[in-house]
A and B are shown apart, each in its own frame.
Chain A
Amino acid sequence: MKTAFEALHAIPAAALEEAAGWFANLADGTATDADRKRLQDWLDAHPDHVRAWKRVEEVTGRFGPVAHGGQPARAVLDLPRAGRRRMLKALSVVVAAGAGGLAALRLPWSQWRHDLALAHAGHRTGIGETLALALEDGSRVWLGSVSALDVSFSENRRALSLLQGDLLVETAKDSVQPARPFTVATRHASLRALGTRFAVRCAEAQSRLDVFEGAVELTLTGSTQTLVVRSGSQATFDAARILATGQADPGRESWSRGILLTDGMRLDALIEELGRWHAQAMECAPEICPMRVAGAFPMKDLDRILAAVQKSLPVRVLREGSVVRIVAAPPAAEGRN
């Protein structure tokens, strides 16, 4: 307490103390008009009193969301504090154990965090769904099929966390100055936007970043390696290393407009991609996997896409029960076309 007072310059401690006293007089809900008049007189007496009272209102204002949050929110504040302290202490011991002690704990802890985060992600999409979000700073993001995203904006940062799936980002100039950093985390890396439009896919084993405008600084989770990916480039990576770099693929943003762009995509990659957007089991015969497909298709129209594939390649699309199977077209059939 004392140190807090000593450190205080801006609003005189006496004014804050008196304001707290006024609050205690009035918070019972039994205040009379005479009480309110006396408060008003006190406020009128000095500008510092007004500033101090504003702080009091700021404090009471913080209770609003919790009051609206109802019993679950209330329950958190009722938790025995000793228990919570113990929890913090236990975590501190993990920290104190240092690098050696941490190694063994790292995987389960991060996996646990990930699963919990996924279950409670702020934004989720199902198969074939996309979701367009306008963020509070004016940035826009699109979430692709079977994806999960958390958005956390604060005073200091604009932080997104892509837990799985596809994300397209179009950053805006921050409404707050100086601009807060805009970051996207996947389980494999942290991406920091340097004014930009970019797409991120987060899969189990690896993530991929395609930059269409501006640049993005990529920092791997499991190493201190960083890489600046510039407009027109892509990088594929896991937590430990950059696996591949190359040209950005326009197909990695066109899904946000409902378009599947296959600029010479391998057939097996196309089938895999379609599998992300449609609840349809699909298989591709091994010998035709390397065939390439080029074109623009409506993402939602699976029949049309499969018909186009059959038309442009020497293949047959067969429906066997609930499975779609793509096989090489028999030579005779090819001749008939």
Chain B
Amino acid sequence: MAADGRIDAVDVLYSDHYGWLRRWLQRKLGCAHEAADIAHDTFLRLLTHPVETPLREPRAYLTTIAHGLVVNHWRRLEIERAYLAALAALPEPLAPSPEARAETVEALVAIDAMLEVLPDKVRRAFLLSQLDGKTYAEIAAELKVSERMVKKYMANAMLNCVVALENAAR
């Protein structure tokens, strides 16, 4: 019953450290609501990404996860704000529905996270191909590299993305 054991372990962690983690986050964020959310997500992460051995420094571990989530939270806000600012420049009839907006922000956050670690040219090549539909010849001209290099960039970018996805899925 490994699964039950894991939930038990997280239960213990939860009852021992949830309140502490929430206060820690609240000091960081200044908002009890966000602090509760992220504390909650931290424990969810523990449930979905179990650690094999008992934790020697549970609070250090929890704050590491929580800090990552806080950074993601801000990143999302920043992306959302940039997108809304860009939308504000559109004439009214072209403005997307709230659902479409939410979906776009969601996708932007996901793509941004996937491409974050890529070198600039690799990232640009990937976006030019996947979003703007450009051919390798066009991308090569724009980035002033060879077509063979563009193809390498594309493989490199995709490999990063699939590895990130695969890690996230585990």
A contacts, CB < 8 Å to B: 1, 4-5, 7-11, 13, 16-17, 19-21, 23-25, 27-30, 52, 55-56, 58-60, 62-69, 71-79, 81, 84, 87-88, 91-92, 95, 98-99, 102-103, 105-106, 109-110, 116, 120-123, 151-152, 156-157, 159, 181, 183, 185, 189-190, 219-224
Contacts and interface: CB of A to CB of B under 8 A. Distances in A.
A77 B112 contact: yes
B162 A16 contact: yes
A126 to B, nearest CB: 15
Contact of B161 (A59, A68, A151): A59
Interface string B134-170: 0110000000000000011011101111111111011
Given A72-B90, A73-B83, A76-B86, 14 more contacts: A19-B162, A28-B135, A55-B162, A58-B162, A67-B131, A74-B131, A76-B79, A77-B127, A77-B131, A84-B78, A87-B78, A116-B84, A190-B36, A224-B19
14 contacts: A4-B167, A7-B167, A20-B159, A23-B158, A24-B151, A28-B135, A30-B136, A52-B162, A72-B89, A73-B108, A95-B70, A120-B84, A157-B37, A190-B37
Contacts of B75: 84, 88
Nearest to A188: B33
B162 A30 contact: no
Contacts of A55: 162, 165-166
Contacts of A23: 154-155, 158
A148 B78 CA distance: 22
Given A63-B111, A63-B131, A77-B111, A16 B163 contact: yes
Interface residues of B, number: 72
A122 B102 contact: yes
Interface string B1-43: 0000000000000000001001100111111110011001100
Interface of A is mostly: helix
B100 interface: yes
B72 to A, nearest CB: 10
B55 interface: no
A77 B111 CA distance: 9
Given A52-B162, A63-B111, A29 B131 contact: no
Nearest to A53: B162
B81 A116 contact: yes
A110 B30 contact: yes
B90 to A, nearest CB: 6
B27 A221 contact: no
Contacts of B87: 72
A246 B15 CA distance: 30
A16 B164 CA distance: 11
Contacts of A88: 71, 74-75, 78
Contacts of A95: 28-29, 70
A24 B158 contact: yes
Given A59-B161, A62-B107, A69-B104, A75 B114 contact: no
A19 B107 CA distance: 22
Contacts of A58: 162, 165
A4 B107 CA distance: 23
A4 B99 CA distance: 34
Interface string B91-110: 00000101111111011101
Contacts of A59: 114, 158, 161-162, 165
* Of listed B44, B101, B129, B166, residue having the most chain A CB within 10 A: B166
A84 B28 CA distance: 20
Given A27-B129, A72-B83, A77-B127, A56 B162 contact: yes
B130 interface: yes
A102 B30 contact: yes
B86 A65 contact: no
Contacts of A16: 159, 162-163, 166
B131 to A, nearest CB: 6
